[in-house]
């Protein structure tokens, strides 16, 4: 399998009046061509900042560093604004968490789609742009595309708005998309349809997908590999089946147990994980999950665990390093 994207030791810190916010604090991962990697974790773990770092859509207060980054066979030395601009769109396109923040409310859908076509395929005539716009609207499952192109974003229903946004993200014909919680605001039927749509687009064009979500249920429907993020770090990564069958990190286990409908043999179903994600201004020393971990050992509170790699899996947890199971 060929890697499409790889990043090593990504650190994205924000300088704020309160101090340095370590939103992403040493993250490494890769995505193969045509593969879906899910990045899972609770709110505030650094999922969005990780993805925005890859295309450098960050506030000026951000300080971004990494040891190595490669996209589409090319090493990205320092991800300057110009390099980032070349990556965005054709190489990596983003589907944002909230459609209304990425669709421009004052322009009709046709104009917004047209801008993307103009940017990526200069020289298209007005008629060609219209044809392509209709075609992509159909592709993402929007009925009556001719009419829908003529409306403003707020005139569409939530589901169609999400699809319109996906159409705009795909108009640049990207080799990889980052889908940042494309489903949270939607009801379950639309959620399932969007996931089917992404799957189908992936089959048609061998696109890579980085799916960002806090919902392990969504992950199981689409991802082949899973990276679990907690407090600015990836704490566990592996193939979906392996992670589901036998989670190694307590955080992963608790996330899986909190999926509605999952039967837990001991202790019943867990509604949510107790406590909150630590503030990235001030992470606890030792394992960052230790204050919430029901299995924490003495060492966990003082010493940060080293990453352990076993075949195509990795985990950072003292329990696992000491050969203790999480039960
Ligand atoms: N521009 C910024 N300046 C300072 N801190 C920031 C900035 N952007 C994000 N953060 C902080 O970085 C941390 C990670 O944020 P991020 O948006 O990546 O979380 P997330 O995992 O995507 O959460 P959610 O599931 O809610 O979308 C949070 O504590 C957030 O407050
Ligand atoms: Mg987010």
Question: What digits encode the pLDDT tens for the residues 110-160?
Answer: 999 999 999 989 999 999 999 999 999 998 889 999 999 999 999 998 888
* Domain that residue 127 falls in: 107-173
Work out the number of other CB atoms within 10 angstroms of the CB of residue 275.
Answer: 10
Question: Two tokens at 109?
Answer: 């859908």
pLDDT tens-digit profile of 258-275?
Answer: 877 665 544 544 456 889
Question: Is 312 a member of any domain?
Answer: no
Looking at the structure, do residues 185 and 56 belong to the same domain, yes or no?
yes
Name the residue at shortest CA distance from atom 31 of ligand 1.
44
Give CA–CA dist 285/282, Å, rounded: 9
Question: Is 65 a member of any domain?
Answer: yes
CA–centroid distance, 13 to ligand 1, in Å, is 11
CA–centroid distance, 48 to ligand 2, in Å, is 4
Question: Is 314 a member of any domain?
Answer: no
CATH number at residue 244: 3.40.50.300
Question: Is 270 a member of any domain?
Answer: yes
Number of the ligand 1 atom closest to the C-alpha atom of 45: 21
CA–centroid distance, 251 to ligand 2, in Å, is 18
pLDDT tens-digit profile of 290-312?
Answer: 999 999 999 999 999 999 999 99
The arithmetic mean of pLDDT across residues 179-190, rounded, is: 66
Name the residue at shortest CA distance from atom 12 of ligand 1.
23
Q: Which of 20, 47, 49 to mutate to test the pocket of ligand 1 (most atoms within 8 A of CB)?
A: 49
Number of domains present in the structure of the chain: 2
- Which one of the ligands is nearest to 46 CA? 1
Ligand 1 proximity of 49 Cβ (cutoff 6 Å): yes
Question: Is 311 a member of any domain?
Answer: no
Ligand 1 proximity of 43 Cβ (cutoff 6 Å): yes
Q: How many alpha carbons lie under 13 Å from residue 285 in its C-beta half-sphere?
A: 4
Q: Which of 48, 58, 213 to mutate to test the pocket of ligand 1 (most atoms within 8 A of CB)?
A: 48
Q: SS in 3 state form for the chain?
A: CCEEEEEEEEEEEEEECCEEEEEEEEEEEEEECCCEEEEECCCCCCHHHHHHHHCCCCCCCEEEECCEEEECCEECCCCCHHHHHHHECCCEEEECCCHHHHCCCCCCHHHHHHHHHHHHCCCCCHHHHHHHHHHHHHHCCCCCHHHHHCCCHHHCCHHHHHHHHHHHHHCCCCCEEEEECCCCCCCHHHHHHHHHHHHHHHHHHCCEEEEEECCHHHHHHHCCEEEEEECCEEEEEEEHHHHHHCCCCHHHHHHHHCCCCCCCCCCCCCCCCCCCCCCCCCCCCCCCCHHHCCCCCHHHHHCCCCCEEECCEEECCHHHHCCCCCC
pLDDT for the residue 49: 96
Average pLDDT along the chain: 90
pLDDT for the residue 187: 63
Looking at the structure, do residues 169 and 180 belong to the same domain, yes or no?
no
pLDDT for the residue 184: 53
CA–centroid distance, 97 to ligand 2, in Å, is 7
Looking at the structure, do residues 60 and 82 belong to the same domain, yes or no?
yes
Looking at the structure, do residues 219 and 260 belong to the same domain, yes or no?
yes
Number of the ligand 1 atom closest to the C-alpha atom of 59: 1
- Which one of the ligands is nearest to 229 CA? 1
Name the residue at shortest CA distance from atom 10 of ligand 1.
23
Looking at the structure, do residues 187 and 222 belong to the same domain, yes or no?
yes
CA–centroid distance, 141 to ligand 1, in Å, is 32
CA–centroid distance, 180 to ligand 2, in Å, is 7
pLDDT tens-digit profile of 54-107?
Answer: 999 999 899 999 999 999 999 999 888 888 988 998 899 988 766 666 788 999
Question: Is 271 a member of any domain?
Answer: yes
Ligand 1 proximity of 23 Cβ (cutoff 6 Å): yes
Counted residue by residue, the chain has a size of 327
pLDDT for the residue 265: 47
pLDDT tens-digit profile of 215-248?
Answer: 888 888 889 999 999 999 999 999 999 999 999 9
Looking at the structure, do residues 49 and 133 belong to the same domain, yes or no?
no
Question: Two tokens at 115?
Answer: 């801008």
**Intra-chain end-to-end CA distance of the chain, in Å:** 34
Question: Is 310 a member of any domain?
Answer: no
* Residues forming a β-bridge with 92: 88, 176
CA–centroid distance, 70 to ligand 2, in Å, is 23
Looking at the structure, do residues 75 and 199 belong to the same domain, yes or no?
yes
The pTM assigned to this predicted structure is 0.91
pLDDT for the residue 188: 66
Question: Is 228 a member of any domain?
Answer: yes
Domain stop point among 129, 154, 173: 173
Looking at the structure, do residues 217 and 82 belong to the same domain, yes or no?
yes
Looking at the structure, do residues 60 and 196 belong to the same domain, yes or no?
yes
CA–centroid distance, 280 to ligand 1, in Å, is 9
Looking at the structure, do residues 203 and 159 belong to the same domain, yes or no?
no
- Residue 126 contacts by C-beta under 8 Å, 6 or more apart in sequence? none
Looking at the structure, do residues 125 and 62 belong to the same domain, yes or no?
no
Looking at the structure, do residues 153 and 213 belong to the same domain, yes or no?
no
């Amino acid at each position: 399998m060929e890697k499409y994207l790889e990043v090593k030791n990504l650190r994205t810190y924000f300088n704020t009046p309160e101090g340095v916010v370590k939103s992403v604090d040493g993250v490494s991962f890769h995505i193969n061509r045509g593969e879906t990697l899910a990045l899972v974790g609770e709110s505030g773990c650094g999922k969005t900042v990780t993805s925005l770092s890859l295309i450098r859509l960050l506030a000026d207060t951000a300080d971004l560093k990494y040891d190595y980054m490669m996209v589409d066979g090319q090493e990205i030395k320092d991800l300057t604004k110009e390099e980032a601009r070349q990556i965005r769109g054709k190489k990596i396109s983003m589907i944002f968490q909230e459609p209304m923040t990425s669709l421009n409310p004052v322009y009709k859908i046709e104009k917004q789609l047209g801008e993307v076509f103009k940017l990526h395929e200069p020289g298209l005539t007005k008629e060609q742009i219209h044809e392509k716009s209709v075609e992509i609207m159909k592709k993402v499952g929007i009925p009556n595309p001719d009419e829908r192109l003529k409306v403003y974003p707020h005139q569409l229903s939530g589901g169609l708005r999400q699809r319109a946004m996906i159409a705009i993200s795909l108009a640049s014909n990207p080799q990889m998309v980052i889908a940042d919680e494309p489903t949270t605001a939607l009801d379950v039927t639309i959620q399932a349809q969007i996931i089917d749509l992404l799957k189908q687009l992936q089959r048609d064009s061998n696109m890579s997908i980085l799916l960002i979500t806090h919902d392990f249920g969504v992950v199981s429907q689409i991802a082949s590999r899973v990276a679990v993020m907690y407090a600015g770090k990836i704490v566990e990564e592996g193939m979906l089946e392996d992670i589901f069958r036998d989670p190694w990190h307590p955080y992963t286990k608790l996330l899986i147990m909190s999926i509605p409908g999952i039967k837990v043999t001991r202790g019943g179903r867990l509604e949510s994980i107790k406590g909150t994600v630590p503030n990235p201004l001030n992470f606890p020393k030792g394992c960052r999950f230790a204050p919430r971990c029901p299995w924490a050992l003495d060492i966990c509170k003082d010493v940060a665990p080293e990453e352990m790699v076993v075949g195509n899996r990795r985990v950072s947890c003292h329990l696992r390093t000491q050969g203790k199971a999480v039960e």
